[in-house]
Amino acid sequence: MKAVLKDREKSILKMAVEEYIDNGEPISSKFLVGKYNFGLSPATIRFELQKLTEDGYLYQPHTSAGRIPTDKGYRFFIDELMAPLSLGFGEENLIKSIFEKEWDDFEMSLFNKELAKNMVEISNDLVVIGSPEDNNIYYDGVLNLFQKPELKEAKQIREGFEIIENFKNNLENVFDKFGDSLNDIRVFIGRENPFYGAENYSVIVSRIEFPCRKIKKKSKDKSEILAILGPKRMRYNKNISLLEFILQSGYDF
């Protein structure tokens, strides 16, 4: 039977996930009591953290450590608890500046390159853009990815490059793995990923068609895949808002 979280459990889980995303340190009951006014005793917070751990939303690396979100915890956070986060004015202008230009069909690689560059600047993660029609792919932000403290081990770095190679060498299959629905944004967390050995990563992805008149793409299939790859501790609300804004910008100009 699926566990049903009470409001108090949801509140504590939300704070724990947000703090871990921001700081990257296991979250303890002492930390939560010190920072948030739950109106609960430290013992009660410890009890709730333990219950969330037993239910699979958090895990404890060792007995004396704080808690870290599991894939299940991140999934519940994204689906039920996460507050939307709008892009800043300057960030929106970075994206708008690309769509305000005119791009001919033969310039799509330049369009992808500039879009990926600006997406990397906003997300601080790795961005992949590709078209299955010509199997053309562009990615940027590799240094961002492997500067994350949780992705510095050799095994994790190898997994990251294997994911990139999957995009590069099997782009048509990647489209199939992520689904063919246009303009839907999907989030894959850890073991949810369709890539083997990607349990340390999350991917936010959309298949996007750019219909705006500024892009004179003559080919039949104008759709491309846009993906943001990062650690499971990525800023989901920021990256989802980024893709949403790109989708909207494609129609506005």
pLDDT (0 to 100) of residue 178: 67
> In angstroms, rounded to a whole number, what is the distance separating the alpha carbons of residues 1 and 208?
37
**Residue 229 CA from chain centroid, whole number:** 6
pLDDT at residue 19, as a whole number: 94
For the whole model, what pTM was predicted? 0.88
CATH architecture of 89-252: 2-Layer Sandwich (3.30)
Q: In this structure, which topology does domain 7-81 adopt according to CATH?
A: Arc Repressor Mutant, subunit A (1.10.10)
Report which residue type is found at 251: Y
Residue 114, both tokens: 């500039």
Q: What is the pLDDT of residue 222?
A: 63
Closest residue by Cα to residue 189 from 53, 13, 71, 21:
71
With left for phi above 0 and alpha for psi between -120 and 50, is residue 197 left, alpha or beta? left
The rounded distance, in Å, linking the Cα atoms of 159 and 232 is: 14
Nearest to residue 232, comparing CAs of 122, 140, 151? 151
Domain coordinates of the chain in residue numbers? 7-81, 89-252
pLDDT tens series, the chain, 253 aa: 455 788 999 999 999 999 999 998 999 988 988 888 778 888 899 999 999 999 999 999 887 778 999 999 999 999 999 998 889 999 999 999 888 887 776 677 888 889 999 999 999 999 999 877 766 788 999 988 888 888 888 888 888 888 888 887 776 677 666 655 667 888 999 998 887 778 889 999 988 876 544 555 555 556 788 999 999 999 999 999 999 999 887 655 5
Distance, in Å, from the CA atom of 34 to the CA atom of 16, rounded to the nearest integer, reads 13
What is the DSSP code string of 115-128?
Answer: HHHHHHHHHSSEEE
Give the pLDDT score at 213: 42
pLDDT score of 63? 75
Query: How far, CA to CA in Å, does 190 sit from each of 120, 163, 226, 232?
Result: 21, 12, 18, 7
